[in-house]
Structure 1
Amino acid sequence: MVAALAQVGRIERVTLGDRVYDELRELIIGGELAPGDKLSLRSVADTLGVSIMPVREAVSRLVADEALEVLPNRAVCVPAMTREKFRELTRIRLVVEGFAAEQAALNRKEADLRVMAAFDATFRREARSGAPDPKRAVRANKDLHFAIYRASRMPSLVAIVEGLWLKIGPVLNLDLKLSPERLANGGAEIQHARAVAAIAGGDAAGARAALAADIEGAAAFIEATGRLA
C-alpha cells in the first residue's frame, strides 16, 4: 500500500510540473510575456494553485529551452532579443516553417482547412478593423500558423517549430501589439490568405512562398522599429 501511494505521488508531481511548463510555454509562444518581463515563482504557483516545486521544475526546463533566463539576483525573466539572434532565428524559421507549410499542402485534411479558415478570418477582421484588438490579433496569428504546421502531420516538426517560437515569439507578438499599423500595412493578411489558398489547393511551393513572405515581412518590420537590442 505504501509503495503504491508513493508511486501515485510521484506521478502527480510530474503531472503538475508538466502542467506548469505547458502553461508558461503557451504564454511565451503566444506573446503574453514580452522581452524583459520578470516572473515571480510564487505568483505563478499561487495563480495555478500549485506548490513552488513544480514551478521551479517548469522554469528550469524553460531556461534550458532558452525561453527564460536567470538573472544574477536569481530573478527569472524573458530574455532580450539581439538583432543578430533575431536574424539567425528568422533564417532558420524560413527553412523549417517553410517546409512545414509545404507538408501541410501535401497532407492536410478537410478539417485542417476549416480550422485555418476560421483563424484566418479572425485575423482579417482585426487587420481591417478601425480599432483592432491586439491580443485577439496576436492569438489568431499564432493559432493560424500552428494550424498550418500541425496539418503537416509531422509532430516532431511541430515540436521543432514550437522551440523556435519559444525564443522568438515574445518579440514577434510584442511588436504586433505595439504597432497597430503592422496589422493594416504589414502584409500578413495577404500572405495568410495566400498560404491557406495554396494549402487548400495542394500547392506546396505556393504555400512555402507565402509563409516565407509572411516571415520576411514581419522580420523587416520588426528590425525597422529599432526595438531589437
Structure 2
Amino acid sequence: MKNMDIPWAQAQLIQFLDLSELRPSTSTRSFRQGNVHPQEHIVASAYVVEQILERVLPRWRSEVPDRRNQSVNRWMQHREAAQRAMTALQRDAEIRERLGEVAPDLSAATMHPWVWEGARALWQSGHYREAVSAAARKVNAETQNKVGFRGVSETRLFQRVFSLEPAKPDMSRLRLMADDGGDTYRNVHRGAMAFAEGCYAGIRNPNSHEDGLPELPEHEALEQLAAFSVLARWVDSATVHQV
C-alpha cells in the first residue's frame, strides 16, 4: 500500500458501499435484492473501486465468494471485497505489528510495469508459475522493441545487447552508463548480461518447459517476478547505441 492515498481510497470504498446499498426484496418468491441507487452510478463507482481492490486485495476475485449464481445481487462480491479492503486499510499496520515482525512489503503491483502488466491476469487467478513466464516474455518483447531487432530472444538477446563490443548494423547495444574506460563500466554490463542469463536460464526456462511441476508458492513467485523487475528497469533506463 506504499504510495497509496489511503484517505482517498477509503472515501471511494465508502461511496461505493453507500451507492450499492441493498434494498430488501418485497417478493416472497425471490431472494434477489435490488439496490437503493441507480445502476449507472454504481457501475461508475465500481470501476474506481476495482482499481483499489487490485492494489489492496490482489486476489479478491478468487478469494471473495461470488454469489451472482445465487441470484442475490450483482454487487455482493464487490461489496464484501470493499468491506475487507476498508479493514485492511484501517488496520493493516496494527495487524502486522501484532502478528509478527514488521518487515518491508514487496508488492507485485509496484514492480516495473512491464513485469506486472505481463503477469497480472495470471497472477490474480493464482497461476503464479505461468505469471512469471508471462512477465519474462513481456520483458523480452520490450527489450526487442527497444533495440529494434527480433532476430534473437531471451538469453542470446541479452548477451548481445549488453555486450561490450561496439554496436553493429544488425544489433544495437544497451548502455547502463557512459564508457569511462574503467572497471565499473565493464563490470556493470557483464553483470547485467550474467543476471539476464540467470533469469532466463534459471527461472523462465524451467517454468515454461518442465511439465508436471507443482504450482509455485506465492512468495517464491514474487521473488522471481522481482528478479525480472530489476532486469526490466535496467533495460528501460539504458541508452540505446546504434550504428
**Shared fold per TM-score greater than 0.5:** no
Which structure's relative contact order is higher, taking Cα pairs within 8 Å and 6+ residues apart?
1
TM-score, normalising length from structure 1? 0.27
TM-score, normalising length from structure 2? 0.26
Q: Relative to total residues, which structure has the larger helix share, 1 or 2?
A: 1
Q: Indicate the structure (1 or 2) with the bigger Cα radius of gyration.
A: 2
